[in-house]
Structure 1
Amino acid sequence: MNDLAVKVVREQKRPAVPPSPQPQRKRRFRFTLAEKLLVVSFLLFTFYVAVQMVSSQVQIYELNKDVQKLEAAIDEQKKENNDLYVEVQRLSAYERILQKAKELGLSLNENHVKVVQE
Structure 2
Amino acid sequence: MALEARKFDHAYIQEPEITRVPAPAPEPEIQPKRSKKWFTKGEKTLFVAFVAAVAMFAVILLQAQSSLNEVNKEIQLIQSDITETAKQNHDLSIQVSEKSTYERIWGKARELGLSLNEKNVKVVPGQ
Q: TM-score, normalised by structure 1?
A: 0.72
1:46-68 Cα shifts (integer Å, max 9, x gaps): 00000111111111111111111
Take 1:101 and 1:84, find their aligned partners in 2: how far apart are those partners?
Answer: 23
Task: Report which of the two has the higher share of helix.
Answer: 1
1:112 alignment partner, SS class:
coil
Segments of 5+ residues of structure 1 without an aligned counterpart are: 1-8, 11-24
Identical counterparts, % of pairs: 41
Take 2:37 and 2:46, find their aligned partners in 1: how far apart are those partners?
Answer: 20
Segments of 5+ residues of structure 2 without an aligned counterpart are: 1-17, 20-33
Runs of 4+ in 1 over 2 A off after TM superposition: 25-30, 34-37
Q: TM-score, normalised by structure 2?
A: 0.67
2:63 to 27, 45, 55: 55
2:38 to 26, 29, 32: 29
Number of equivalenced pairs: 95
Take 1:29 and 1:110, find their aligned partners in 2: how far apart are those partners?
Answer: 110
Q: Tell me the C-alpha RMSD between the 2 structures.
A: 2.0
2:104 to 96, 99, 102: 96
